[in-house]
């Protein structure tokens, strides 16, 4: 009841801010539609068929006698929609992925996922704009999920699940140099298996407000405030797993030269749990993008934040995430990508009814390499390799190599 009242007050106060902005006259740019293979059309479809090899299909530890490898077949159709209008842009991306493991049996032979991303942007006046994004994920026998936490985030999930992340932002140009934004986020997790759902089903509500100042054409600074209310379907004794976090941070965006740009955010937050236990944590993130050639870019970034834990017995995780992404056109037809991610998590704020095992840590690594050769605008070949390594003091440590080659048809 305590958190229900918090949520009701939180939503009421932030609704007043949003309505106030809606009644004002403000300004911002509309989403630019992403490029489709045929610019004369507003939609596109593609289909990938590939085959490959997975040397650890159950993400088993190295000494597990049940560790199994398998050949794999992947089928992945995709659909894209870009619908620009005078003051509105609507975009939709949907992908279905089905991976068949030759050496797994029955329903366990398939991993399936549905991925849908929706974007809408509307300019009410020359000075007022609303942006809405929604990301939906449905995983059946999933292996890994990439979370949106500022960098590609590697996490393991337990069993089939639904995930949705809805974000709305109103942007208001106070003057030519000052910009005000206010937003609301809703993150939803729901698992099919009852024993997993008991510990992990949750809603996360995240209102935020920020103000930016354009120092010069190359530099923008900002101040942001964000709240986060986590509500579990089974919050435990005294709502101990539910939490309320307030975070304040400064932001700096700078274009060093036509080839190099960067962004840095720094601040801190306080989290209060339902049993009145509290925790503080710094928040920081930064990234640099360098266009080293007309046909090549590299981006590096890192962030440190307090994240809601899905490990049994722990309510939060101090997380350091670092990534690198390289894109290069070797020839006009051959493109290469190289990516790397490292995640360091230290679990804390143990459930009060359990005996904590200290502050266990986990390290997760991912390296991926991709090559794409375009025979024509409609037909291409793909080669991909991914290496994953998880080392955790809570168990479930493993190494995994996957490689696959396929053909994609696009219309």
In sequence order, what DSSP letters do the residues of 366-404 get, joined into one string?
A: EEEEEEEEESSSSEEEEEEEEEEEEEETTS--EEEEEEE
Separation of alpha carbons 36 and 118, rounded Å: 16
CA dihedral 280, 284, 285, 286 (to 10 degrees): -170
Query: Is the distance from CB of 208 to CB of 186 less than 8 angstroms?
Result: no
Tokens read off for 393: 């003091």
Q: Under CATH, which number does the domain 2-292 receive? A: 2.40.160
pLDDT value at 294 more than 80: yes
Q: What percent of the chain has pLDDT over 90?
A: 57
| Residue of 260, 188, 178 lying closest to 212 (CA atoms) | 178
CA dihedral 348, 351, 352, 353 (to 10 degrees): -140
- Of residues 234 and 156, the one with the higher pLDDT is 234
Highest mean pLDDT among 86-100, 227-241, 357-371: 86-100
* pLDDT, average across residues 373-389: 95
pLDDT value at 311 more than 80: no
Average pLDDT score over the chain: 84
pLDDT band at 252 (very low <50, low <70, confident <90, very high): very high
Across 138-147, 256-265, 362-371, least confident range: 138-147
Separation of alpha carbons 370 and 385, rounded Å: 6
* pLDDT, average across residues 216-232: 95
Across 34-38, 185-189, 318-322, least confident range: 34-38
- Of residues 253 and 346, the one with the higher pLDDT is 253
Across 55-64, 225-234, 295-304, 328-337, least confident range: 55-64
* pLDDT, average across residues 105-122: 87
* pLDDT, average across residues 340-355: 78
pLDDT band at 349 (very low <50, low <70, confident <90, very high): low
| Residue of 202, 236, 203, 396 lying closest to 313 (CA atoms) | 236
Checking 91-99 for CB contacts under 8 A at 24+ apart, the result is 91/31, 91/33, 91/34, 91/117, 91/118, 91/119, 91/120, 92/116, 92/117, 92/118, 92/119, 93/117, 98/74, 99/72, 99/73, 99/74
Count the Cβ atoms, other than its own, within 10 Å of residue 304: 18
Tokens read off for 238: 């005294």
- Of residues 26 and 402, the one with the higher pLDDT is 402
At 209 the pLDDT is 97
Across 22-36, 125-139, 349-363, least confident range: 22-36
At 241 the pLDDT is 82
At 61 the pLDDT is 85
Separation of alpha carbons 95 and 387, rounded Å: 23
- Of residues 337 and 278, the one with the higher pLDDT is 337
At 353 the pLDDT is 66
For 22, list phi and psi in degrees, rounded to 5.
-60, -30
pLDDT value at 97 more than 80: yes
Query: Is the distance from CB of 322 to CB of 302 less than 8 angstroms?
Result: yes
Beta bridge partners of 46: 78, 410
* pLDDT, average across residues 194-209: 89
Separation of alpha carbons 202 and 231, rounded Å: 6
Which residue shows structure tokens 């005000």? 180
At 310 the pLDDT is 65
Query: Is the distance from CB of 232 to CB of 242 less than 8 angstroms?
Result: yes
Domain boundaries, the chain: 2-292
At 46 the pLDDT is 95
Grouping H, G, I as helix, E, B as strand and the rest as coil, residue 266 is strand
- Of residues 353 and 189, the one with the higher pLDDT is 189
| Residue of 189, 57, 31, 54 lying closest to 122 (CA atoms) | 31
Question: Tens of pLDDT along 16-64?
Answer: 343 343 333 333 333 345 567 777 789 999 999 999 999 998 888 888 8
At 63 the pLDDT is 81
pLDDT value at 410 more than 80: yes
pLDDT band at 153 (very low <50, low <70, confident <90, very high): very low
At 29 the pLDDT is 35
Separation of alpha carbons 189 and 142, rounded Å: 14
């Amino acid at each position: 009841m305590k958190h229900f009242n918090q949520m009701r007050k939180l939503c009421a106060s932030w609704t007043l801010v949003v309505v106030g902005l809606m009644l004002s006259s403000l300004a911002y740019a509309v989403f630019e539609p992403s490029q489709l293979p045929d610019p004369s059309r507003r939609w596109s479809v593609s289909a990938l068929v590939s085959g490959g090899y997975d040397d650890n299909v159950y993400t088993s530890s190295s000494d597990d006698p049940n560790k199994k490898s398998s050949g794999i077949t992947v089928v992945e159709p995709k659909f894209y929609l870009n619908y620009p209008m005078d003051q509105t842009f609507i975009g939709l991306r949907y992908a279905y992925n089905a991976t068949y493991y030759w050496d797994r049996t029955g329903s366990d032979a398939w991993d399936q996922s549905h991925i849908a991303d929706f974007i809408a942007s509307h300019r009410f006046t020359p000075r007022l704009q609303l942006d809405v994004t929604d990301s939906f994920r449905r995983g059946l026998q999933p292996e890994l999920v990439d979370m949106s936490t500022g960098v590609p985030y590697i996490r393991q999930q337990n069993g089939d699940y639904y995930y949705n992340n809805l974000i709305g932002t109103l942007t208001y140009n106070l003057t030519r140099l000052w910009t005000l934004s206010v937003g609301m986020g809703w993150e939803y997790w729901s698992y099919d298996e009852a024993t997993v759902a008991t510990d992990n089903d949750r809603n996360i509500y995240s209102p935020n407000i920020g103000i930016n100042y354009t120092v010069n054409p190359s530099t923008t600074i900002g101040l942001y405030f964000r709240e986060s209310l986590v509500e579990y379907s089974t919050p435990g004794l005294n709502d101990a797993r539910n939490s309320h976090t307030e975070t304040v941070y400064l932001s700096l965006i700078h274009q060093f030269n036509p080839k190099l740009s960067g962004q840095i955010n720094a601040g801190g937050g306080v989290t209060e749990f339902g049993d009145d236990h509290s925790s503080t944590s710094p928040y920081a993130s930064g990234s640099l993008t360098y266009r080293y050639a007309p046909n090549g870019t590299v981006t590096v970034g890192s962030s440190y934040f307090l994240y809601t834990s899905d490990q049994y017995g722990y309510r939060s995780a101090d997380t350091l995430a670092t990534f690198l992404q390289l894109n290069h056109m070797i020839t006009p037809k051959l493109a290469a990508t190289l990516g790397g991610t490292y995640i360091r998590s230290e679990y804390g704020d143990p459930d009060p009814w359990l005996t904590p095992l200290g502050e266990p840590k986990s390290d997760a690594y991912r390296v991926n390499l991709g090559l794409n050769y375009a025979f024509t605008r409609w037909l291409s070949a793909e080669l991909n390799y991914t290496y994953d390594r998880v080392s955790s003091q809570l168990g479930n440590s493993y190494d995994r190599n996957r490689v696959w080659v396929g053909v994609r048809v696009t219309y």
